[in-house]
Amino acid sequence: MSLNKRKSVIVWFLSALLFAPSLWAQEKSLSLDEAKRIALAYNKTLQNARLDVTIAKKKVFETTAIGLPQVTGKADYQHIFKVPSFPMGDTKIPVTFGDNTVFTLQVSQLIFSGEYLVGLQASKVYKAISEQALTKNNIEIGASVESTYYLALILAENLNIVRKNQTVMEQMLNQMEQMHKGGFIEETDVDQLRVNQTTVNNLAIALEGQMKTVHNQLKYLMGMNMSEQLLLTDKLDNVITGINPIANTEFNPGQNIDFKMMENQVAAQKLMLKREQTGYLPTIAGFYQHQEKQKTPILDFQPKDVLGVSLSLPILTSGSRSMKVKQAKLELEKVQNSKEQLKEGLSLKYQSQKLSYETAYNTFLNQQKSTEISNKIYEKTMVKYKAGVSSSLDLTQVQSQYLKSVGDYYNAVLNLLNAKVELEKLAQ
């Protein structure tokens, strides 16, 4: 290798080392709104739902095309071993040829078909249902992203408090060890503090593992690469501050996506009934046919051009058609009952979810006060412990109480935010 090439390789290698960290550990800053936008664009479930909408649009055109002019071409080759002939005087004239190729062009046009007209309407309803399914998926994925994002914020805040406790415990342990060496305290007090430190360390490890899992779940929902690192920019305090203490009392089931989809199910079943009823109607189609033969016999009675109309009318179905219509009517009645049941169920669910939201809000307020009190007790007990007024057992009990209170507080926050998300979903 030449000197210049070696220099190029060295420069490339150094550049790779310089920029590698940014490639290996990409960090993406995300607000909640940005996380939702990414999920709506790249989530695989939503991508499939959008494909279903495209398929439905193609289905509408496919159904429409049935009623448009249809053109078909056909070529037939035939070989007749014994050619029939027609006697004329002393000669026999062949009616056809032993070998021949016939080319046929046919144009057909559906003039009237009740089943076609209903099918065209049904394909449009099917398209609307697929669009509503996409909307429902958007709502579900958006809510999942929101809940997961909130959980990640809560875990981060909880871990931050635990890490502060780790720092305090480490400082206290160093001080206690020095005091033990000086003979001012017993070794049991130091050991008790070590046990406390181990408990806090284990809690930090557990929270770190949960954070990784939740971040991976968030990346999965957004269709992101698992190797990317997330930096969540929204602040939990701002999220909590923006929560209203009283839920919106107005609820219209007609705005709920499930109810809208059920309305389209009713429309689809009505079309199924119409489809069965159109079985009593005739089907009318027109056609034009042109035929060319490679070899035309002298006596050829088959015309080259034919224009015609065909009509098909069911005369007797032995009651099967009537039974299909009656079944379709019963199915329509079932769907209409389901629609009314869903309407009542949504109203009931909203009232229940509203109560859960208000309960979660009151629990959050109470737990917030309880945590503040536990924190004051914990801080005072640490001061007393350092002054030798309080025992290590007292500190252990108070610390456990404080950490439990913190955990209960963040559980209350999570329950409140989840109740908020579920309540908002019902109004969409």
Give pLDDT tens digits for 324-356. Answer: 899 999 999 999 999 999 999 999 999 999 999
Q: How many angstroms separate the CA atoms of 117 and 115, rounded?
A: 6
More reliable by pLDDT, 309 or 89: 309
pLDDT at 336: 95
Which of the two residues, 319 and 217, has the higher pLDDT score? 217
Q: What is the pLDDT of residue 318?
A: 77
Check pLDDT > 60 for residue 227.
yes
- Using the predicted structure, report yes or no on whether residue 24 has a pLDDT greater than 50: no
Mean pLDDT of 59-85: 85
Contact of 198 with 205, CB cutoff 8 Å:
no
pLDDT in tens, 125-167: 989 999 999 999 999 999 999 999 999 999 999 999 999 888 8
Confidence check: pLDDT of 216 > 80:
yes
Task: Give the pLDDT score at 21.
Answer: 43
All residues at 6 or more sequence positions from 104 whose CB lies less than 8 Å from its CB, including other chains = 73, 74, 75, 76, 289, 290, 291, 292
pLDDT at res. 298: 66
CA dihedral sign, ordered 356, 357, 358, 359: positive
pLDDT at 112 exceeding the cut of 70: yes
User: Do residues 211 and 158 make contact, with C-beta atoms less than 8 angstroms apart?
Assistant: no
Q: Which residue has the higher pLDDT, 148 or 320?
A: 148
Q: Could you tell me whether strands 283-293 and 305-312 are parallel, antiparallel, or unpaired per DSSP bridges?
A: antiparallel
pLDDT at 4: 52
Asked whether 384 and 411 are in contact (CB, 8 A), the reply is no
Q: What is the pLDDT of residue 107?
A: 92
Q: Which of 294, 252, 269, 226 is nearest to 78 (CA)?
A: 294
| Per-residue pLDDT, 361 | 93
Q: Residue 370: is its pLDDT beyond 50? A: yes
